[in-house]
Every structure is written in C-alpha cells, then in structure tokens.
C-alpha cells in the first residue's frame, strides 16, 4: 500500500518537481499499486509454472521480461533518463 500523504511528503522533499498538482499524491500511488498487482500476478503464474510455492526475484524478472508492456520499463534506454532525474549534490540543498 502506498499512502497518499507519505507520497506527497516524499515528492515535496525530493526536489524533483517544483510544483505538484493536488491529484499527484493520489494518482501516483494508484499507478504504483496497479503496476505492483500486475507484476505480482505475472510472477505468481511464473512460479506456478515452475511448480514453486514462493515467488522469487527470478520469477519477477522473468515475468517483467516476458510482458510486452512491462518490459519497456526495464529497457536500457530508460537508464539515462533515470540518471538525469537524480539531483546532483550541489542541487540537493537548493530546495526550500
């Protein structure tokens, strides 16, 4: 579960965005919950296919890789964008 108040606090303290729409702390947890549910459902099917009772990180990785849509999240081309979003050490103290 991703509580909206916690997400709001993290987003405001992270300095990734100067302005946040009031619906962002509600929309983002809903999106994360949807992704989590889909990933765990696919990983569960992967574990059942291998006759395992527990879901392992390998099951999750295979499930994401086999999913046409989820595999887009783990492609190498997304890595430079993630690095760009991380604030540099100089920028960390700029936020109010």
Distance CA(39)–CA(41), nearest Å, equals 5
Domain of 34, CATH number, reads 1.10.20.10
> Which domain does 77 fall in, by range?
4-93
Distance CA(29)–CA(46), nearest Å, equals 25
- The confidence score (pLDDT) of residue 7 equals 85
R_g of the chain, CA atoms, integer Å: 17
Spell out the residues 6+ positions from residue 38 whose beta carbon is closer than 8 angstroms to its own: 67, 70
- The confidence score (pLDDT) of residue 87 equals 56
What confidence tens digit (pLDDT) does each residue in 58-91 have? 999 999 999 988 888 877 654 555 454 555 555 4
Share of the chain above pLDDT 70, in %: 77
Domain count, the chain: 1
């Amino acid at each position: 579960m991703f509580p909206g108040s916690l997400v709001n606090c993290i987003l405001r303290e992270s300095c990734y965005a100067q302005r946040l729409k009031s619906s962002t702390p509600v929309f983002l947890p809903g999106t994360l919950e949807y992704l989590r549910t889909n990933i765990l459902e696919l990983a569960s099917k992967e574990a059942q296919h291998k006759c395992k009772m527990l879901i392992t990180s390998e099951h999750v990785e295979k499930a994401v890789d086999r999913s046409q849509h989820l595999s887009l999240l783990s492609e190498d081309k997304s890595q430079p964008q993630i690095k760009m979003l991380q604030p540099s050490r100089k920028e960390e103290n700029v936020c109010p």
